Amino acid sequence: MTSLVVPENEPMRLGLMGGTFDPIHVGHIACAQAACEACGIDEVLFIPASVPNFKRGRRLAPAETRLAWCEASLREHAHFHACDIEIKRDGITYTVDTLRQLRALYASDVELCFILGADSAASLPRWYASEELAELATFVAVSRPGQALDEEVRSSLEAAGFRVEYAEGLMVDVSSSDIRGRIASGESIEGLVPEAIRLQVESEPAYCGVKEAGVEDAVCPEMNARGGVADDALSDAFFEARKAELVGRVTEKRFNHVMGVVDAAQRLAEIYDVDVRTARLAALLHDWDKGYDDEGIWKRGIDLGLDKTLDPWVFSNMPQVLHAHTAAVALEQEFPQIPREVIQAIDRHTVGDENMTPLEMVLYCADAIEDGRRFGTIDELRAAVGQVSLDELFFRVYEFWTLNLLSRRHQVHPATIKVWNTLIARRGSKKGRE
Ligand code: ATP
Ligand code: MG
């Protein structure tokens, strides 16, 4: 049970600091202190986000560890407390769920004040269920080095219905990514994290392989689940931030597959004259939800309302295709800056469609023939790249996959038959006869 901080008699302003805390550092504590001083906040809960259900890649410390570091670091601050409410919850941790849960736990005269750095504050209107979010709490935006809140952001937050207060923090130029990077390259982190946890943090296995995996070069201003900092979804910054986030969402094997698809999609895009940045983004995000098991993906599908929009038979019987649809819906909600064509390509990457766009065909083919895949006659498909038209390549890949499913006696999606018939009709009307 989550332990509560209970006000004795006065109504209270309860501060909430959400984050990955991977690891917690002196900037987080300074941020909370600034909010308390500027806005009369009495107590603060530090709430590490979980990265649930997903088999996490190596570079995120386990949720329990991140929580334990918060506990140890906050012991000397009487009014700061580590809170396990998110890591105990199953499923993806949306702030709105946490606020709802806390709202129900606390009396109505306790005001919830969500504290966040200016970088995160700017993206608030893009967070999941932002309208409800705006109703549930007051938001306290604390300036961060290089991240003051400009007038434009302030007015966009107000226009979106957020009650926002501002605090000038004692600027502490540190971030968790910076700390992880230093550990990976053997630099000191003294003074950057509370001394009580420094040795543990330095020896955290999740941080030591950052260099080898190539994620360290990521321009990664936001690793947490809600950080859509880059407005331009086709930018390198957006790509790298999502890539770093993906590490925590899928297994290492899946991550490697995705990076293979990114390479293949870029190659195909160049050959077939599709925008390369758009193709690489669709490839990077296509398996965004592949870390869920069947139970998890059903639950996520229901949370996102897909049980009402998808074919009910497919929803109940084909959990293996749901990840494409949940990813499309969830990504569109969380990152409205992602172009619609990318969302649709993700949505169609498992079953395809009768009218695939060039981008969609590139993703579909890249997913099948990336270098990590080894089976059947896949080399013949690889050899056809650049030799045949994109339509023809897609047809061959679709045929290969469909035959493969049938020969392994898997269920096929009802739409597969439709797509197949359309493709055949287009190729010269064989109409079921040779
Ligand atoms: P990462 O580099 O992994 O994104 P981070 O240092 O930004 O880590 P988070 O866990 O993402 O830490 O951040 C939790 C919250 O703390 C966010 O609202 C963030 O804006 C805020 N925050 C983090 N570092 C600072 C800092 N140095 N000054 C003020 N606020 C900060
Ligand atoms: Mg961050």
- At 144-191, the pLDDT tens digits run 877 677 888 889 899 999 999 999 877 888 999 889 989 988 899 999
pLDDT of residue 59: 61
pLDDT of residue 360: 97
pLDDT of residue 126: 75
Alpha-carbon distances of 408 from 310, 401, 404, 405, 411, rounded to whole Å? 25, 11, 6, 5, 9
User: Apex CA 413: angle with CA 412 and CA 416, to 5°?
Assistant: 90
Structural contact between residues 241 and 347, judged by C-beta atoms closer than 8 angstroms: no
Q: Whose CA is nearest to atom 8 of ligand 1?
A: 176
Q: Residue ranges of the chain with pLDDT lower than 70?
A: 1-3, 7-9, 51-59, 90-93, 147, 209-230, 429-434
Can you tell me the distance from the alpha carbon of 327 to that of 227, in angstroms, rounded to the nearest whole number? 16
What ligand 1 atom has the least distance to the C-alpha of 143? 29
Structure tokens at 19: 């984050």
Structure tokens at 157: 């937050």
CA 261 / ligand 2 centre spacing (Å): 27
CA 355 / ligand 1 centre spacing (Å): 43
Can you tell me the distance from the alpha carbon of 20 to that of 28, in angstroms, rounded to the nearest whole number? 11
Q: Which ligand is nearest to the CA of 177?
A: 1
Contacts of 359 (CB under 8 A, 6+ apart): 269, 274, 275, 278, 279, 282, 341, 342, 345
Which residue has 């679709």 as its token pair?
398
Q: Which ligand is nearest to the CA of 31?
A: 1
Q: What is the CATH number of domain 236-433?
A: 1.10.3210.10
- DSSP characters over 270-292: HHTT--HHHHHHHHHHTTTTTT-
pLDDT of residue 409: 92
Can you tell me the distance from the alpha carbon of 306 to that of 421, in angstroms, rounded to the nearest whole number? 26
For all residues of the chain together, what is the average pLDDT? 87
Which residue has 């991240």 as its token pair?
147
Q: Whose CA is nearest to atom 14 of ligand 1?
A: 19
Which residue has 């959990």 as its token pair?
319
Specify burial of residue 212 (Cβ count, 10 A radius: 0-12, 13-18, 19+): exposed
Any idea what DSSP says for residue 324? H
Q: Which ligand is nearest to the CA of 61?
A: 1
Q: What is the 3-state secondary structure (H, E, C) of 352-366?
A: CCCCCCHHHHHHHHH
Any idea what DSSP says for residue 144? B
Give this prediction's pTM. Answer: 0.56
Q: What is the pLDDT of residues 44-58, one digit of tens each?
A: 999 998 764 333 333
- DSSP characters over 189-213: -TTTS-HHHHHHHHT-HHHHTHHHH
pLDDT of residue 69: 97
Can you tell me the distance from the alpha carbon of 24 to that of 73, in angstroms, rounded to the nearest whole number? 8
236-433 shares the fold of 12-227: no
Closest CA to 25 of 163, 190, 205: 190
Q: Whose CA is nearest to atom 23 of ligand 1?
A: 28
pLDDT of residue 253: 92
CA 215 / ligand 2 centre spacing (Å): 15
Closest CA to 81 of 174, 22, 17: 17
Q: Whose CA is nearest to atom 31 of ligand 1?
A: 117
Give kind and range of the element (H or E) at residue 367: helix 358-369
> How many angstroms from the chain centroid is the CA of residue 195?
31
Specify burial of residue 46 (Cβ count, 10 A radius: 0-12, 13-18, 19+): buried
Q: To test the ligand 1 pocket, which listed residue (21, 31, 44, 139) has its Cβ within 8 A of the most ligand atoms?
A: 31
**Domain locations in the chain?**
12-227, 236-433
Q: What is the CATH number of domain 12-227?
A: 3.40.50.620
The CB of 31 under 6 Å from ligand 1? The reply is yes
Structural contact between residues 408 and 375, judged by C-beta atoms closer than 8 angstroms: no
pLDDT of residue 51: 62
Can you tell me the distance from the alpha carbon of 192 to that of 179, in angstroms, rounded to the nearest whole number? 8
Closest CA to 363 of 348, 378, 385: 348
Spell out the alpha helix ranges (H) of 55-194: 63-74, 85-88, 95-105, 118-122, 130-136, 151-159, 176-184
